Structures are given as structure tokens and as C-alpha cells.
Amino acid sequence: MKNIDVMIDAATLQDRVLELGAQITRDYAGREPTLVAIMKGAVFFLADLARAIDLPVCIELMGVSSYQGGESTGEVRITHDVSAPMRGRHLLVVEDIIDTGLTMKFLLENLQARHPASLKVCALIEKKTATANKVAIDYRGFVIDDRFVVGYGLDYGEKYRNLHFIGVLK
């Protein structure tokens, strides 16, 4: 697309997802992780990551929306919840991108309250953003500068999610 500069090409993405999957396979050997993907952006990453993990996995989806700026001070709301109890499970939250960390901080507090056996984070992209909500990322695909990116699940006004690469709008 001529209005988008490629930042991370498709082959680089796929290679890194395979590496993350291999790492998760080693770390969770003998266990059955539940991948909790955050809609809608992480769905593309989830589909590739899950197939790169050589273990039995369960898949769950959560939807959240965050209100930032204006009157609200970053309130996060659940728009779609998981389909089963999370108690006693090994949860791995799968997210497309962590910017301020506000969304992930909320999600981790919410999921921790359900008493999982363990709770970790796998984010495809971490932005170098100065933030008060730093969360520990256990599996990180890429670290990028603070630019607005689209593709491979990430949208601008619900568009560009279906790009094979991560790019920057010109």
C-alpha cells in the first residue's frame, strides 16, 4: 500500500512469532496454557502464536475498551469476557501492542482476582513510551519507537488489520 511505510515485514514477524512459540513451548512444558487474547487486535497474532506452540492450549478472548483523555482518567471497561472460569489455569495474556500499559495493568488485576495458577504476558510489540503503568512483559516480540502503527491486527479506525506486515501511516 502506497500510503504505508513497512516497519516490520511479514517474514520478520513470522520468524519472531515462531521464536516466541518455541520459547513458550519450552517454558510451559508439561502444562496446558490458556491463551487469553485481547480483541480485536491480538486475534491475528494469537492465530499464528497458538500454532507455533507445541503443547495442548486453550484459547479465550477478552474485549476491552479504554477511554483516555477528556474527563476520564483512563478507565478501562470489559466488553467481552472469557467463556469459562480462569481459576487454577496457567494464563498467558496475548496482546498486540502495549503503549501506556494502562489496558494491560487493568487486565492483569482483573485476571489475577480470578485466582489463576499463573499469569504471564506475551505482547507482540512494546512501545518505548514514558509511562506510569509499566507492566512486566514476559514474552516480547519487538520494541518500537513511539509511532502509531497498523497491520497484523492493529487498526486505524478499524482499517488495516489485515496487512501482513506492521507499518506506519504516512
State the alpha helices, DSSP H only, in the chain.
10-27, 42-52, 102-112
Residues that bind ligand IMP (CB under 6 A): 41, 66, 95-104, 148-150, 154
Which of 88, 87, 116, 122 shows the shortest CA–CA distance to 104?
122
What CA–CA distance (Å, rounded) separates 120 from 139? 8
**Among ligand IMP, Mg ion, none, partner that 67 touches (CB below 5 to 8 angstroms by kind):** none
CB of 96: closest distance to ligand IMP in angstroms? 6
Residue 59: C-alpha distances to residues 47, 50, 79 (Å):
10, 8, 17
Exactly one of 21, 33, 41, 153 binds Mg ion (CB under 5 A); that residue is: 41
**Among Mg ion, ligand IMP, none, partner that 50 touches (CB below 5 to 8 angstroms by kind):** none
Give the nearer residue to ligand IMP in terms of CB position, either 5 or 54.
5
What CA–CA distance (Å, rounded) separates 36 from 54? 17
Report how many residues bind Mg ion under the rule CB under 5 A.
1
**Among ligand IMP, Mg ion, none, partner that 98 touches (CB below 5 to 8 angstroms by kind):** ligand IMP
What CA–CA distance (Å, rounded) separates 115 from 124? 25
- 5 is a catalytic site residue: no
User: Which residues are marked as active site?
Assistant: 99
- What residues make contact with Mg ion under the rule CB under 5 A? 41
